[in-house]
Every structure is written in structure tokens, then in C-alpha cells.
Amino acid sequence: MEQYDYIVVGAGSAGAALAARLSENPKNSVLLVEAGPASHMYSWLPVSFGLLIHNPAANWLYESEPEACTGNRKIPVPRGKVVGGSSAINGLVWVRGQPLDYNTWAQMGARGWSWNDVAPVFTKIENYEGGPENGRGTDGPLKVSVVPDQNPLYDALFKAGEQAGHKITKDYNSEDQEGIGKTQTSIHKGIRMSVARCYLKPAMKRPNLRVIADAPTRRIVLEGKRCVGIVYERYGRQIEVRAGREVILSAGAVATPQLLELSGIGRPEILKQFGIEVKHALPAVGENLRDHINARGIWHVKVPSVSYNTRARGFGAVKEALKYATTRGGFLSLPSAPLLAFLKTQKEMETPDVQMHIVPYSVKDPKRRILQEFPSMTLSVYQLRPESLGSIHIRSADPNDQPKILFNFLTNPIDQQCMVDGFKMVRKIVSQPALDAFRGDEYDPGPKAKTDDDILAWIRNNSQTAYHPIGTCRMGPVGPNTVVDDKLKVHGIEGLRIADASIFPTMPSGNTNAPSIMVGEKAAEIIKAAA
């Protein structure tokens, strides 16, 4: 039976960074196990966020359960199923979050996770083209750039934001997040900066790091209350490997609680329901799920040349492909949103509570990312720190059965009001004189959504997620609502840690890829210090 010092399950944003850092010590033998393939032909492209949004070759294609709070719809929950994880298919938007987020974690008992603790970790990750101001990193493994795309529509949107009373920001990843600005993105010279490229590619030259792809982990191996290894499946064979020191789960906010429950760790009544032996009762496994529910408003645009619905359709698509091939620029080089805004729905607030994504085109179907036929723009909004809590639990003892995802979106009145107020702010920005030359009619939701109740009903029945599930193995002191301590050790189990977005105590204010990589980096520091 093979044995390694450390076994990391999941080669996504946190797991790849963690495994690469642990392997820096040549005395450590490290195994990284990934359920998906080693790569995908599109995963180096920025536009793969659209090409792989509904592709089972690199995407788990999870779906939520139909719920009355969101129009009894199944909502897509795409997650990366490839080396690089969701960093290989995400929208490439780089957001650290607010100091308030991490200070809240520390206040909730996660010692060592305040802003002052995690800011240096973000700096360590980044190779930011904007320079070292505001504590930004300039020699880390992951290159971060500002969207270079130019468009008169962007200029008009900036002016409209100012006319609506908002400021322009050059760096929302400073300690002051507020304002409207160009998106910072994990793209360099038109190439996606996934963790597979930035962390694993250089690390795999080391003989002490082994990466096994196409190998879904089926269960954790326990001897009493100690984790001693895992069982993974490859080509129809189940293979057990042992960890001399530790196993670290980095399978993500969906798959990590699923794996724990399949291994007999979790809420006893759920495990017994499916005939799984309860090896360790831990009631918070799979609970405390949060995600961003995202309301996408669409407007017609009167100047076709500023919209990629015109520029990237038909012969325009060929031109954009040639532009990317020759310059690494244009439509195929963009992140999911070239402009972002972080704003306060109430001026009395200390920090922003909503995020807007501003996009110079619109799509028919969020599942397939097919462009609308007419020139348009999309302004979407979501609440940065939602209060509504959901859950993720197994639906059977079969690891091939996708888990049951319940979001419970908009069940908290605070969330309802914030989303309505946020969309009204979007409308106010779009209505400003600076956009008169570009703005056409509101296509969705359109004039039918007049009152607050109308807007809330539209959000319930049409919104998707922003693809940011977190919190299902929450970090904090031992108690009924936590799974790991501030050293990421699973409560009551020796030799087992978790390092991915499932440990977030609360939602960071923004996109979750950067915080997930931060968790992988910080986990490596914690484990190295312990060793």
C-alpha cells in the first residue's frame, strides 16, 4: 500500500496551492488526488467560463433542489471537475474582500484569520501588474491584471455612476473596496491564470509531488478517531493510500461535506437514513451553506458597435477569434465582467453591501452562454453578505449520486430588502444622462417590475447564483455549528483537516476564488508550522 506524508483531496483553487506549497520541502511526500481529468482543451482560455459552463467534461453540473423561495426552479451550480478546479472554468474576477469580512471571522472565534492575518497571504499569492501600493503583491505565483478592453460604453457607465453619486475606484482590493472600477482579473496576456498553471505546473517538476487525475475519492479511511488515508477509484479499481501525517480535504463546498458523510462523519440521522455507519457525529457537516443570488438586468443598447452581441456574432465572431489569435485581446480575452461596482444600498453603512457586474452584452441562457441577437448590456447585482442559510447533504450512500443542495435563498428579510434596493440602484445608474446616447429600453425585467414586490418576485423567479457556494464545513470553536477549528482540524478527528471554501464562517464580500486560494496558502503555513 502506497504511503505519503500528506494526501490532498481535490486539485482546485485551495488544494492545488496547498499541495504545491507542501511539496516545497523535499522531505515531504505529497499526493494530490483529483476526480476530474488532468486538463481540458479550453481551460487555458479566459472564455472557458462560457464554453464550460454546461460541459460535463470539466464541470460537475450540480443543480439545487426546486424551492418555493426561488420559483420552484432547479438552479445550476457549476463547479470545476478538472485539475485546477473552478479556477479553470470560473469568470476570472479577482476580489480579496473587505477587511470587515475577515475581522468578522476572527470575532466569531477563528483566531489567526483577521484581516491583518490574511492580507499578507493575499500579497504572497499575487503578482499584480498595478504595483505594490495598498499592500498588493508583485512577485507571487498568480498574475493579476486589470481588464485592458476599451469601450465608449465603459466611459459612459463610469460617468453615469458618478452622476448617480458613486465614486470611481482604481483598486477595490485595497482596504477601501467602495466604488466603480475596471475588473482585476486572473488573466495575463490573454491567458487564464488557473492554479493548475500558476501553482501545479512548476511544482510538478518536484519528485516528491504526485498528482493523480481521473480519480474520484470515495471515502476517508478511519482507524478509531484518526484519519489514516483515503480510498480513490481509478479505471474501475478502488485503491487505498495511506497518509503518514495528514489528509487534507480540498474538494470544495459541495463535495467536501458529501465525502465526509459518505465516510460516516456528519449528522447521525442523515447517515443512518442511508445505512451509513456513524463513525463520528458532527452535526454541522453540510449546514451553513451560503451563496450569492445574482439578479441580471438587461438593457437594449442603441449603438450596436459598443455591444459584443453585435461584435461577437456571425462574421464578428471570426474577427474576434482572429483578434485573440494575433493580439490575445478582444472578446475572447475578457473575464465574465469587465467592470465591477461595490456600493452601499444605505449611505449610513460602514462598507458596501452589494456588488454589481457590468457587461457589454447579454446572454439568452445562463446555462449555455448563448449571446442574444440584439445589441445589449447586462448589469447584475448581488448582496455581498447574505444571511439566508442552506445546506448540502447526500441523497444516498452512492457516491455517484449528486448531493441535495438547498439554498433557501431570500428567506431572510434582510436579503430581500438588500436585493430589491440593489436592483433599484442599478436602474438609477442606467437612467443617468451619461448613458442617454447608449441606453435603449429595459429588456429584463422590463416595465412589468414596478413596485418592490414586483422586483422581488422577478428576482425569485429569474435569478441564478454567482457560483460562490461556501460555509458547509464552517470554521470556529467546537460547537454545534462548526466542523473545523482555526487550524483547520476537523473537530474530534486526528490527522484530518479541511482547506477550501467550505470552511468560510461567513461570505467574503465578492467573488470567492481569491479567498479560496488564500485558504490553501494559509493551510500550508499552518501545516508547515505544526510539522
* Cell numbers linked to 475: 470554521
Residue 370 confidence (pLDDT): 86
Cα separation, 286 vs 254, in Å, equals 8
Residue 307 has pLDDT above 70, yes or no: yes
pLDDT band at 368 (very low <50, low <70, confident <90, very high): low
- pLDDT digits 0-9 by tens, 24-76: 999 999 999 999 999 999 999 999 999 999 999 999 999 999 999 999 999 99
Determine phi and psi for 184, rounding to 5 degrees.
-90, 135
Q: What φ, ψ does residue 271 adopt, rounded to 5°?
A: -65, -45
Contacts for 27 with CB less than 8 Å, ≥ 6 apart: 208
Report the alpha-carbon distance of residue 523 to residue 367 in Å, rounded.
34
The CA–CA distances, whole Å, from 156 to 145, 242, 431 equal 22, 59, 11
Where is average pLDDT lowest: 37-46, 362-371, 428-437, 447-456?
Answer: 362-371
- Measure the CA–CA gap between 38 and 52, rounded to whole angstroms: 15
pLDDT at 418: 98
Phi, psi (deg, nearest 5) at residue 176: -105, 105
Torsion-angle region of 168 (φ positive above 0: left; ψ -120 to 50: alpha; else: beta): beta
Tell how far CA 433 is from the center of its chain. 35
> What is the pLDDT at residue 365?
78
Residue 491 annotated to the active site? no
| Residue with the three cell numbers 457590468 | 358
Give residue-wise pLDDT tens across range 407-435: 999 999 999 999 999 999 999 999 999 99
C-alpha 193, offset from chain centre: 15
Q: What string of DSSP letters covers 160-173? A: HHHHTT--B-S-TT
Length of the chain (residues): 531
Rounded CA-CA distance 6/244 in Å is 7
**How many Å apart are CA 157 and CA 503, to the nearest integer?**
37
Amino acid letter, residue 419: M
The one catalytic residue in 188, 357, 468, 491 is 468
pLDDT tens-place string over residues 67-107: 999 999 999 999 999 999 999 999 999 999 999 999 999 99
Tell me the domains of the chain and their CATH numbers.
1-142+193-291+389-409+468-531 (3.50.50.60), 148-182+293-383+410-462 (3.30.410.40)
